[in-house]
Amino acid sequence: LDKRDRDMKIAVFDLGGGTFDISILELGDGVFEVKSTNGDTHLGGDDFDKVIISWLASEFKAEVPSMDLLKDPMALQRLKEAAEKAKIELSSSNETEINLPYITAVDGVPKHLVKKLSRSKFEQLADDLVKRTLKPCEAALKDAGYTKNDIDEVILVGGSTRIPKIQQVVEEFFGKKPSKGVNPDEVVAIGASIQGGVLTGEVKDVLLLDVTPLSLGIETLGGVFTKLIESNTTIPSKKSEVFSTAADNQPSVEIHILQGERSMAKDNRSIGRFVLDGIPPARRGVPQIEVTFDIDANGILHVAAKDKGTGKEQSIRIEASTGLSDDEIQKMRDEAKANEEADKVAREKIDKLNRADGLVFETEKQLAEYGDKLSDGIKQPIQDALNSLKEAHKNEDLAGIDTAMEQLNQAWQNASQEMYAAQQSAEAEPNAAADTEASTDDVEFEEVDNK
């Protein structure tokens, strides 16, 4: 950033494991000036884990009313580990399965916990936590004397900023996409090492390192290209993510490495593949396969896959991972841009299902909050449309989802008109009551005079 030929205002959004901090900086002539800081010392990744833990415990209690997993230390520890794993998986997939066999025993009978958690459901559970990040941002901007439009760059720091909803909210708040040029887990250590070099005199100027010209990632279920290292990431860089199996008792996984910017794997360039076998039989979603991409300053890519259960590992070394001329790189970027709309269609089904799930959540929340203010004639169409949307979502009926969402939106428009009309009537009634009381007082006063 300090190599750019203009002064810049930067927002550093730092959401770590236990705390949240937002800093507003001004950069000019190589000097970083902190204009304001704010945050929440009781908000972090652990809180996102807790909402999953609470949800799992409540779901289990609904099935086994006599058992509260939150009061069982051993079960609670397993819930914590599963919740963190699920949270991480939902950053790169739309659904994850939480499978905890023999979580507890009731009257000597073992009980198992198997639940599926979608990304949209997780976002609903964490809705309040996400909103809590915005007030400190508003306060920091106010203290710095800036508006959202003044910010030139937003930098994400901390592992919890990998949560897609956090990235979405940050983008909506500041009106621009956060910078992808730094690794949220490593940025603090990198900055500290640079500062150490400056203090010892070894670093005379900040060095601009090379960047990855195209995104690097692997093929995942459904032929989707899942990026691990985004394009224009400064190298050297290292990124790890945990994946799992797509079928029960899957004995091996194929790691197919690609580079490019398209959404589907088949449209990107294959640069290598290898197989990790010897995975013990288990239900889908249970094995934890950690895939690590490590690209050094020379552009040599090391990809490793490790079964965290057995410790078995396979790896591949890819020299000149780009292997493309500048013209070829630009051609791939142009193709990605030209096919952007077509690529979106490939993911339309999942996105629409998530939107429907989110609308169901919002509608149920609004009905709980405003339902008593609506007449039965207005409330019933909302409930009918909601039930239709639930059914269409369950059957993955995309046309039915569109119809139900349109009906639900129309029903809510009618409800809004009724609520506003009721509010206006409520405001008018006290005035009418006051006029009536004044008139009655006058009559009584006149009667007294006559006496």
Q: Which of 54-68, 220-234, 311-325 has the lowest mean pLDDT?
A: 311-325
| pLDDT value, residue 87 | 94
β pairing state of 109-118 and 153-157: unpaired
pLDDT, tens digit, for every residue of 330-372? 677 678 878 877 777 776 776 677 678 778 877 887 888 777 7
Measure Cα distances from 446 to 314, 419, 439, 440, 443 in Å.
101, 42, 11, 10, 5
Is the model more confident about 422 or about 199?
A: 422
Q: Structure tokens of 106? A: 């009731």
Confidence of residue 447 (pLDDT cuts 50, 70, 90): very low
Measure Cα distances from 224 to 217, 343, 346, 376 in Å.
10, 10, 9, 46
Q: Which of 1-5, 23-27, 366-370 has the lowest mean pLDDT?
A: 1-5
Q: Which amino acid is at 42?
A: H
Interatomic CA distance for residues 69 and 53, integer angstroms: 9
Average pLDDT over residues 243-258: 84
CATH topology of domain 214-318: Substrate Binding Domain Of DNAk; Chain A, domain 1 (2.60.34)
Q: Does the bond joining 287 to the residue before it have cis omega, within 30 degrees of 0?
A: no
Q: Which of the residue ranges 52-61, 208-217, 403-412 has the most confident prediction, judged by mean pLDDT?
A: 52-61
The tokens 């601009």 sit on which residue? 208
| pLDDT value, residue 137 | 92
pTM, full prediction: 0.46
Return the closest-CA partner of residue 262 out of 330, 325, 321, 333: 333
Confidence of residue 131 (pLDDT cuts 50, 70, 90): very high
Confidence of residue 84 (pLDDT cuts 50, 70, 90): very high
Is the model more confident about 222 or about 255?
A: 255
Is the model more confident about 226 or about 358?
A: 226
| pLDDT value, residue 118 | 93
Is the model more confident about 300 or about 124?
A: 124
CATH topology of domain 332-427: Substrate Binding Domain Of Dnak; Chain:A; Domain 2 (1.20.1270)
Average pLDDT over residues 2-13: 75
Two domains, one topology: 1-208 and 214-318: no
The tokens 């993955």 sit on which residue? 396
Measure Cα distances from 357 to 124, 129, 345 in Å.
10, 19, 19
Confidence of residue 449 (pLDDT cuts 50, 70, 90): very low
| pLDDT value, residue 30 | 62
**Beta-sheet strands, E only, within 162-278:** 216-220, 224-229, 237-243, 253-259, 269-276
Q: Structure tokens of 342? A: 């077509």
Contact assessment for residue 134 and residue 40, using Cβ atoms and an 8 Å cutoff = no
Handedness of CA 157, 158, 159, 165 (dihedral sign): negative
Interatomic CA distance for residues 137 and 353, integer angstroms: 31
Residue 400 CA, distance from chain mean position: 27
| pLDDT value, residue 451 | 41
pLDDT, tens digit, for every residue of 399-413? 888 888 888 888 888
Name the H helices within 326-397.
326-338, 340-346, 348-370, 376-394
Spans of all domains in the chain? 1-208, 214-318, 332-427
Q: Give the number of other CB atoms < 10 A from CB of residue 177.
A: 10
pLDDT, tens digit, for every residue of 308-333? 888 888 888 887 555 566 567 667 76
Name the H helices within 111-163.
119-125, 127-132, 134-144
Class of domain 1-208: alpha beta
Is the model more confident about 304 or about 17?
A: 304
Confidence of residue 25 (pLDDT cuts 50, 70, 90): confident
Contact assessment for residue 267 and residue 258, using Cβ atoms and an 8 Å cutoff = no
Rounded to the nearest integer, the mean pLDDT of the chain is 80
Is the model more confident about 19 or about 148?
A: 148
Q: Structure tokens of 43? A: 């908000």
